[in-house]
Amino acid sequence: MHNTAIALIELGAVFFGLGILGRVSWKIGISPIPLYLLGGLAFGRGGLLPLTGIEPFTQVASEIGVVLLLFLLGLEYSAGELVTGLRRSWPAGLVDIVLNATPGALVAWLLGWGPVGALAMAGVTYISSSGIVAKVLGDLGRLGNRETPVVLSMLVFEDLAMAVYLPILTALLAGVSFLGGLSAVGISLLAVTLVLIIALRFGRYVSALVDSPDPEVFLLRLLGAALLVAGIASQLQVSAAVGAFLLGIAISGSTATNATRMLEPLRDLFAAIFFVVFGLNTDPAAIPPVLLFALLLALATTVTKVATGWFAARRQGVRRMGRARAGAALVARGEFSIVIAGLAVSSGTIAGKLAALSTAYVLLMAIIGPVAARVVEPVARKMVQHREPPRSQAASS
């Protein structure tokens, strides 16, 4: 009974503290992710006041957080949008992979983490945070801008790339053979193809299977289906997160809209726990030795993401100001980077410093991203005005 009381007190303190941190982040205009990570660092191993009574709950809750993050991300896209986005963005998507995965892989290689560590860090630095990007675009009133479809297409390409990348990483972390790794990739590609076909031709049946006019029944069906599919995907050596993402794609129309509205509070709750748990499992003392690498990665990948967005927007005929906005919008890293690092660290095959480097890097990028998106337009406008000659001079010439 005493242990239960301690666990409830600690859990209540965590939830209340997360509410305060979320309010602070809203006030200062940044994503709450870095504050959640800092909260986890403060109360985890080596922190100010380690919490020890909530591990059984937080372990399962953090897994549910990952599943819901990816499930709701899948609900944002229809199969048609995914296919169209892939067709339009694949050249820029390939540039994105080269420019943004390479810095992470190089740093992991310099730190001696081997090929698997390099592959994990490549994913951490590669993928933008869909959640942060979407929130920033909404907050800044840019959802109707000319460059926004380009940004969304890039996010779609990255999500599809993750559907191939995560099974490869999971297989290598599990120590399977090369043949086993190929099998995992084959299963993943087959699953993606099958889900896209089902979503395009039979999406209404999938939606009808989980839909219900009763909110309680609807919620239970949604959550049950997401966890079932994620668990089956994990058994098949496909990432649970990818399984949830694919299920989200298969649900469309008003069912997807209602599902998003109903699951958003649960997603926010469990996702916050996921970020806190990642911080709890990271020793703050391990961050200072890798802080310089995190800063260098942050600087390098800010430049490479801006270049990626500029290139993608230019291919779609967007003007200079829009290209700059597209590049800055893609800078933020967040939930997916932490998911990748979490997979790597939980496997036990990679040095714990990867968690510290990933945490420091995401902390920096989750702050730099929204700031860059806000300041890029006035900065770009000043640069354009500085380059353009005065009207009187232009007329005389």
* pTM of the shown model: 0.72
Q: Is residue 391 assigned to a domain? A: no
Cβ atoms of 66 and 243 within 8 Å: the answer is no
State yes or no: pLDDT of 395 exceeds 50. no
Query: Quick one: average pLDDT of 338-342?
Result: 82
Q: Which residue type does 29 have?
A: G
Q: How far apart are CA 127 and CA 339, in angstroms?
A: 11
Rg (CA), the chain: 21
Answer positive or negative: Cα dihedral of 46, 48, 53, 55. negative
Structure confidence by residue, pLDDT tens digits, 89-142? 789 999 999 999 999 999 999 988 888 889 999 999 999 987 678 777 777 778
At residue 392, the pLDDT reads 47
Q: Is residue 105 assigned to a domain? A: yes
Q: Is residue 318 assigned to a domain? A: yes
What's the domain range around 371?
2-385
Which among 229, 231, 227 has a CA at the least distance from the CA of 195?
A: 229
| CATH number, domain with residue 306 | 1.20.1530.20
State yes or no: pLDDT of 219 exceeds 90. yes
Query: Quick one: average pLDDT of 277-289?
Result: 78
Q: What Cα–Cα distance (Å) separates residue 348 from each residue in 136, 148, 220, 222, 294?
A: 35, 40, 34, 32, 22
Q: Is residue 56 assigned to a domain? A: yes
Query: Quick one: average pLDDT of 232-255?
Result: 76
Q: How far apart are CA 203 and CA 221, in angstroms?
A: 16
Q: How far apart are CA 89 and CA 8, in angstroms?
A: 48
State yes or no: pLDDT of 281 exceeds 90. no
Distance of alpha carbon 179 from its chain centroid, rounded?
A: 29
Q: How far apart are CA 259 and CA 222, in angstroms?
A: 7
Average pLDDT value for the chain: 80
Which has more confidence, 204 or 289? Answer: 289
Most distant pair of Cα atoms in the chain: their distance: 87
At residue 386, the pLDDT reads 58
At residue 89, the pLDDT reads 76
Q: What Cα–Cα distance (Å) separates residue 373 from each residue in 42, 309, 360?
A: 29, 12, 20
At residue 286, the pLDDT reads 78
Query: Quick one: average pLDDT of 230-234?
Result: 79
Q: Is residue 112 assigned to a domain? A: yes
Q: Which residue type does 98 have?
A: V
Q: Is residue 395 assigned to a domain? A: no
At residue 239, the pLDDT reads 64
Which has more confidence, 102 or 264? Answer: 102
At residue 231, the pLDDT reads 86
Structure confidence by residue, pLDDT tens digits, 43-99? 766 556 666 666 777 778 888 887 887 788 778 767 666 667 667 778 999 999 999
Domain count, the chain: 1
Query: Quick one: average pLDDT of 205-214?
Result: 88
- Residues of the chain above pLDDT 70, percent: 81
Q: Which of these ranges, 17-21, 123-127, 217-221, has the smallest mean pLDDT?
A: 17-21
> What band does 252 get if pLDDT is binned at 50, 70 and 90?
confident
Q: Is residue 392 assigned to a domain? A: no
The alpha carbon torsion through 200, 201, 204, 206 (nearest 10 deg) reads -80
Which among 264, 219, 275 has a CA at the least distance from the CA of 62?
A: 275
Which among 266, 265, 288 has a CA at the least distance from the CA of 41?
A: 288
Q: Is residue 90 assigned to a domain? A: yes
Cβ atoms of 350 and 147 within 8 Å: the answer is no
Crossing angle of helices 253-280 and 335-346, in 10° steps, is 50
At residue 180, the pLDDT reads 65
Q: How far apart are CA 69 and CA 25, in angstroms?
A: 19
Which among 304, 299, 306 has a CA at the least distance from the CA of 320?
A: 306
At residue 2, the pLDDT reads 60
